[in-house]
Amino acid sequence: MALPRRSLLRGAAALAAALALPVPRAAAAGLPLEQRLQVCRPQGDPLQELLRRNREFAAVWAQAQASGDPLERARLLQDAWPLHCQVRPGALAEGQRPWAAVLACADSRVAPEWLFASGSGELFEVRAAGNTAFDAGVASLEYAVAELAVPLILVMGHSGCGAVKAALGSAPLTPLLEDLVRPIRQALPQAEAAGAASLERAVKANASAAAAALPRRSALLQQAVAEGRLRIQPAYCDIGSGRVSLV
């Protein structure tokens, strides 16, 4: 039996409330493309929005930690997932307007959309082991700033980073891995490069160095920072707690 129209509308309103989306925004198909792409864009400081969402994620992550059953952990994460917004797929097929960029490690444990509970089209992600300012990464971020008007680049290192461990160690590496860890070694003070450092301190130093290198390596990014259109911020993710802190 077909449900009355009033019941359908109540159901839609309840779903929108559960997703923290007002009904008018959820039904924004008739808006211009630019508005449809920016429906999830925060009104305030994008950095503070990332940190706020991460706090919500970390609370759910702690709940999952308490369970010894992998299926139950998955259910906990699914039921309590703090995703607030999702751009319409049809709009994303026509373009993108991410409101932050993240230069992160390629490590499987630190996916930015996971840590910041973000839907498709919200974050512009550049990832490589060690989250360094590598050529293709810098060029990708130039595109994000010049073409997509991204106002924030978060450079995020993380606990237990294998690339930083390799940079601190003396084990032989392949030629390509040597190329990868070279900027990490250059980012560390001499004592740390020789191995006399905690991994966490080295990871944070590397994130700060990569953040500082971006405007040095790119006149476009340097100009955007000088004009106040772009902020570049280093950060550190503790995988165990799920918390991201500024460096």
Q: In what order do the strands lie in the sheet with 243-246?
A: 123-127, 100-104, 152-158, 231-238, 243-246
Query: Which two structure tokens, joined as six digits, stand for 199?
Result: 């991994």
Q: Where are the alpha helices (DSSP H) in the chain?
A: 5-18, 23-26, 33-37, 46-65, 70-80, 89-92, 112-115, 135-148, 162-168, 175-187, 190-193, 199-217, 219-226
The single residue listed with the structure tokens 């509970």 is: 117
Q: How far is 123 from 135, CA to CA, in rounded Å?
A: 20
| Ranges for all domains in the chain classified under CATH 3.40.1050.10 | 40-246
Q: Specify the pLDDT at position 28.
A: 54
> Given this structure, which CATH class describes domain 40-246?
alpha beta
**pLDDT digit of tens for each residue in the chain (247 aa)?**
444 433 433 443 343 334 344 434 444 557 899 999 999 999 999 999 999 999 999 999 988 888 888 988 888 888 877 888 899 999 999 999 999 999 999 999 999 999 999 999 999 999 999 999 999 999 999 999 999 999 999 999 999 999 999 999 989 999 999 999 999 999 987 545 555 468 999 999 999 999 999 999 999 999 999 999 999 999 999 999 999 999 9
Residue 245: beta bridge partners? 236
Here the tokens at position 238 are: 């503790």
* pLDDT number for residue 23: 37
The confidence score (pLDDT) of residue 192 equals: 56
What's the pLDDT at 5? 38
State the pTM of this model. Answer: 0.83
pLDDT the model gives residue 230: 98
CA distance from start to end of the chain: 58
pLDDT for res 161: 96
Which pLDDT does position 49 carry in this prediction?
96
pLDDT of residue 170: 86
CB atoms under 10 Å from CB of 201, counted, come to: 13
The pair of structure tokens assigned to 153 is 């680049």
